[in-house]
Chain A
Amino acid sequence: MANILAVDDSASMRQMVSFTLKGAGHTVVEAVDGVDALAKAKGAKFDLVISDVNMPNMDGIALIRELRALPDFKFTPMLMLTTESTTEKKQEGKAAGATGWIVKPFNPDQLLATANKVLG
């Protein structure tokens, strides 16, 4: 099963994402913002990164840009959690190297379906 990095500054969303993915048998590492995530990503290998966009310290877009520059994350699927109102953010995220996005609000089934899609 996959090793997944879940990044969100909101504890409830993080719990939900983590609980859902763990329920499907994945291993989940949680991070509270971009800086935390980057620290946890360095020296580790992940099969998938799921990150919120709006976060303090380092937002999701900057995180994806930083991660993409790491050799271990060159081809790792990275999904952003975004709201429907932020079309520009999707473009910005793509430009930073995001694989795709999951639109908020989403339910656990949608999350799993999308994760499975990129995990193959």
Chain B
Amino acid sequence: MSIDMSQFLETFYEESFEGLEIMETELLALDTGDADSETINTIFRAAHSIKGGSGTFGLNAVADFTHVMETLLDEMRDGKRQITQEAVNLLLTTVDVLREMLTALRENTELDHERIKVTHDQLEALLASDSTAAKPVSQADTMDTSSSTSPTAQGWKISFHPHIDLLKTGNDPVRILRELSELSELGEIESTMDASSLPDFENLDPEECHLGWDIELKGEVKREDIDEVFAWVEDECDLTITAIKTVTEKVAPAKEEISSATEQSTVTNSATKASGEAPKATPAAAKAKTSSESASIRVGIDKVDSVINLVGELVITQSMLSTLGEDFDMSKVNSLIQGMEQLELNTRELQEQVMRMRMMPINFAFQRFPRLVHDMSQKMGKNIELKMTGEQTELDKTVMEKIGDPLVHLVRNSLDHGIEMPEQRKAAGKPVTATLGLNAYHQGGNIVIEVTDDGAGLNEARVLAKAIEQGLVSPDAELESAKIHELILLPGFSTAETITDVSGRGVGMDVVVKNIRSLGGTLEVWSKQGEGSKFTIRLPLTLAILDGQTVAVGDEDYIIPLISIIESIQLKPEMLNVVVGKGETFKLRDEHLPIIRLHNVFGGHPRTTDLTQGLLVVVETDGRKIGLFVDELKGQQQVVIKSLEVNYKRIEGISGATILGDGSVALIIDIPGLISLSNQEKATSKYKKSA
């Protein structure tokens, strides 16, 4: 039977990467001196699984490499080896190398043999040092097997007397006899049963084994094959195996060597065949992989079950309604209403549950931080403790994938700029070990992620000075603290005195803000000088649903994302200001804001073109406010976003579409896109005029 092992590779890679992450997390836990045996056990198990799997699936380079690592971990687990910082660091590197190896194999790219060898040698060196290692034993083991090509005899005399408990491990003398007879396929087998120790019938316990056998096996059977038959029971029986007339003549060994050698070579042949199969299959699997990477999601079986359950309910409701419809009259109107309510309930629950399928605990985004903080704090010579809470808070998978980089940026920022050097902390009377916090929780329809540190906080004077220097605020501006803090979110702002390789390479917080905005989220800064800072990210739980305000322009409905709306006003004539060549503006309190007429951008026939007759929706994006001129406001509702690109094509200024309760389609407005679109139009119309 030949089985294509490559079909299991994808699962193997997936679980190996998970295993590596577990190892990393646990190694970092060891790092803080919390060396309980379960931690080491967990690390060992992960390494062990990777080794077992890679060997089985033909990834021998990985298996060899993991073997050394496993030996080291085994010694630690047995308490034979001290867990030193050095060893932990080496193991962390090993995890990295393994990750690279597996990635290379999965994507079918070249392995970095140099790096693998260096790490391998380091592991070997550590193993060789001071240890009371179990290594000689394993060497003896291999010696044993390699010398196992023992001479073949012409026959064997076997005395096999099981202990009475043999049956209790599920072993069966009949099976052993059967296997022996299979060995002697070409020869003969003769066995004599010894029932002498069988007790009287009254005293007989059928669960005990009282029989023994003396067996003569004739023919060319190798000793190790016989040993193998008895391997499982050798401690549960009295066993003697003696050769009948071993071929001891001087000529014989040579002949046997040949025969055993040929046998060996066939074995290796089939072995290479088997292992050759797997690598060949790898590329195909790897290729299939790359195309399906982002398309799959792992969902807990409980979530799938609850959806199936709800679909079942839905089917019941549906059949109830259709029965009702078969001979409907007005007397049944109450049942109809009930049925509809039931249907609504089912649908809403089903929607919630299906949404839940896309949700994953934020832990997936958090788990890289222990390592990051560990590495960076060592590099910078700072003492930092990472505290994570709310790791189980769930959010949409797509949001999770996109929030990773902004989070890394914020954490690096805190580590680098926020947290002081130990001496400074001591001088300021703070604990030498700084705390960096990552916290996540749900609030309303949002997930809130906080990055906190108890570092120096923002230096307001310096921030303000820098902002003035860069022309972001006027020199005589007097800003309150919160406004100053927000300055750091502006494009191109960086206060780092020296640009380190950790953060502050010109890519500023504005990029973080932009990324978060693109997910429909917001970023807030709180800081107190000398006490620390807090960055709060607020994100919608999912990208598939959006809170929208429906507005009407003529016969068309549009959806404006609620998150970008500040207020809606009716213009008074004195607020209006028409600037020639620059379009229309209005004055809102102290600001002059541009007006975009939706009907100008998207067409349609508005009920009015008089700005004081319709409504102005004030929206904010990227720190800019504008007024959108519409006919009227309709309701607020959650809308399910349908992609226009998939169903039609991409349209500037529109982020998608949705279907309203009455079945009509409404377009969802992409505010930043709309602004750039209207700017372009202004530019072209100006060009037309001058031409």
Chain A interfacial positions (CB closer than 8 Å to B): 9-13, 15-16, 19-20, 23-24, 52, 54-56, 68, 74-78, 81, 83-85, 87, 91, 94, 97-101, 104-109, 112, 117-118, 120
Contacts and interface: CB of A to CB of B under 8 A. Distances in A.
Nearest to B182: A117
19 contacts: A9-B49, A10-B49, A11-B15, A12-B9, A12-B57, A13-B53, A13-B56, A16-B5, A52-B52, A74-B207, A76-B170, A77-B171, A84-B141, A94-B232, A97-B168, A97-B169, A100-B231, A108-B2, A118-B172
A8 to B, nearest CB: 9
B175 interface: yes
A118 B56 contact: no
Given A12-B9, A74-B207, A108-B3, 16 more contacts: A9-B49, A10-B15, A12-B15, A13-B49, A15-B8, A19-B7, A75-B168, A77-B171, A83-B51, A91-B235, A97-B168, A99-B169, A99-B232, A100-B231, A105-B55, A117-B175
Nearest to B47: A54
A13 B44 CA distance: 17
B138 interface: yes
Contacts of A24: 1
A109 B231 CA distance: 19
A15 B11 contact: yes
Given A16-B56, A94-B235, A99-B232, A11 B168 contact: no
Contacts of A100: 171, 231-232
Interface centre among B57, B138, B141, B170 (most CB of A within 10 A): B170
Interface residues of B, number: 46
Nearest to B229: A117
Contacts, number: 114
A120 B178 contact: yes
A36 B680 CA distance: 64
A116 B179 CA distance: 11
Q: Which 4 A-B pairs have the closest CB atoms?
A: A105-B55, A100-B232, A12-B12, A99-B170
A74 B274 contact: no
A56 B232 contact: no
B56 A87 contact: no
A68 B168 contact: yes
B74 A77 contact: no
B57 A9 contact: no
Nearest to B165: A97
B286 interface: no
A94 B171 CA distance: 11
A117 B228 CA distance: 12
A48 to B, nearest CB: 9
Contacts of B169: 68, 78, 94, 97-99
A105 B63 contact: yes
B38 to A, nearest CB: 9
Contacts of B274: 107
Given A100-B232, A120-B178, A12 B11 contact: yes
Interface string B2-36: 11010111011011000000000000000000000
Given A54-B44, A56-B45, A100-B231, A109 B1 contact: yes
Given A20-B3, A94-B235, A104 B55 contact: yes
A84 B310 CA distance: 49
B357 interface: no
Interface in B458-502: none
Interface string B158-186: 00000000011111101100110000000
Contact of B170 (A55, A104, A118): A118
